[in-house]
Structure 1
């Protein structure tokens, strides 16, 4: 590991939801640390606009709510790269409402599709590759709303909670499927891969700050700090972070 973080040369990391500010930050920092990066988004124009300046990044368009399409993507990437060593899931969104009765079905379904269905599809499709990796990492971004849900964000908090539960289940899968990866039957030898939950109150970027110079954004996590946390997962022992919630807020 260098003074600025781990060296990721030889690793391939898939960033899902790469066209947003957090995606750009993560893709940029992963590349800076030497990883090959596959940036996945649902809109080719948005991907090109956000990441076109990073010519060495492999940009792929995929509807991550479509399980067969995600499976096709995973097969293509697994065939095209020596290994798949990370899945950074940044797909999501935010919708609130006016109390419990104001949580509309449309908002709930949109949150479920973007925040949970895409995670289920991608983690299942890339699971075997992450288990096969000696340094596989799955990371999601969750919210402090899971710990302190309010009526106004009930649907959002519920979907985030479900995504956390799914991620912890993936972590259990890694632990079971990689038991003894160090060459022994001792469970302490594994896992080599880890599924981790990064928790924030909310995210902020430079454009948001520039648009609202009067606002302090208290407790918000800058997307660059999120990216640093993602890269830092590769400098941590997998058993220490597998299934863990890391609070960034």
Structure 2
């Protein structure tokens, strides 16, 4: 565990949660690179997150683009210590029969394909870092799926499984290594929320109470906390942020 400045990638940085997480990590003294597929949007989001947050445009669903992103970051930083993966989205329906292929393709691309591409490409960086961290945001719907949200819950469950597999890879290479075990220093974790809320959502619907929702600032604080918590306490854990 390191108390120094780290190089952290925020994937899905154009969202309100991406802005909040990037701002908090930058405020904690880290070098923050925030990534989105639309150049104008990610530049605006980085500016909103504060001075020093570096915007990068990349289609994270395209493995070639992700490899190019990694090469550029490796040359500029020497390696990435953390990835906070916030790419996602929501699609729902009335029940099982009307779950559409279009919704599945959208959620599979955003929740699963982007995570696979990013985690595979940056895996060695995170495994080599003294404070390597991968975090995703999952949903309480994984444990309690509904017919209307079947596609969403299934995509989130797949992302969870992939992240736990990354955690197992970190464990086997470090504390669980059979011949030369070392102190666990890399961790993959899952933040679990019902849904996220931000000030703009509250302003747009002042009559709503958003029960059980997690504020993006709470998520941001939890992301910062990952880098000050021993990896052995984090790796493979689901961390509930829902109220």
**Band of TM-score, shorter chain:** over 0.9
Q: CA deviation at 1:8?
A: 5.5
Q: CA deviation at 1:143?
A: 0.1
Cα offsets for 1:174-227 (capped at 9, x unmatched): 11122489xx9564x432010000000000000101111111000000000000
The equivalent of 2:28 in structure 1 is 33
The equivalent of 2:39 in structure 1 is 44
The reply on whether 1:170 has 2:170 as its aligned counterpart is no
Name the CA distance, whole Å, in 2 between partners of 1:190 and 1:168.
19
The reply on whether 1:191 has 2:214 as its aligned counterpart is no
Aligned CA-pair RMSD: 1.7
The alignment's TM-score, normalised by the length of structure 2, stands at: 0.95
The equivalent of 2:195 in structure 1 is 202
Q: How does 1:39-78 map to 2 (within 5 A)?
A: 39-53=34-48, 54-78=50-74
Aligned length: 241
Name the CA distance, whole Å, in 2 between partners of 1:205 and 1:73.
29
The equivalent of 2:7 in structure 1 is 12
Q: CA deviation at 1:125?
A: 0.5
Cα offsets for 1:145-189 (capped at 9, x unmatched): 0010000000000000000000000001111122489xx9564x4
SS in 2 for 1:100: coil
Structure 2: which 5+ runs fail to align?
A: none
Q: CA deviation at 1:58?
A: 1.4
The reply on whether 1:224 has 2:224 as its aligned counterpart is no
The alignment's TM-score, normalised by the length of structure 1, stands at: 0.93
Name the CA distance, whole Å, in 1 between partners of 2:95 and 2:44.
37
SS in 2 for 1:99: coil
Q: Could you tell me whether the CA contact under 8 Å between 1:8 and 1:33 is conserved in 2? A: no
SS in 2 for 1:246: strand
The reply on whether 1:124 has 2:120 as its aligned counterpart is yes
SS in 2 for 1:137: strand
The reply on whether 1:23 has 2:11 as its aligned counterpart is no
Name the CA distance, whole Å, in 1 between partners of 2:102 and 2:117.
21
The equivalent of 1:3 in structure 2 is none
Shift in CA distance, 180/163, structure 1 to aligned 2, threshold 3 Å: closer
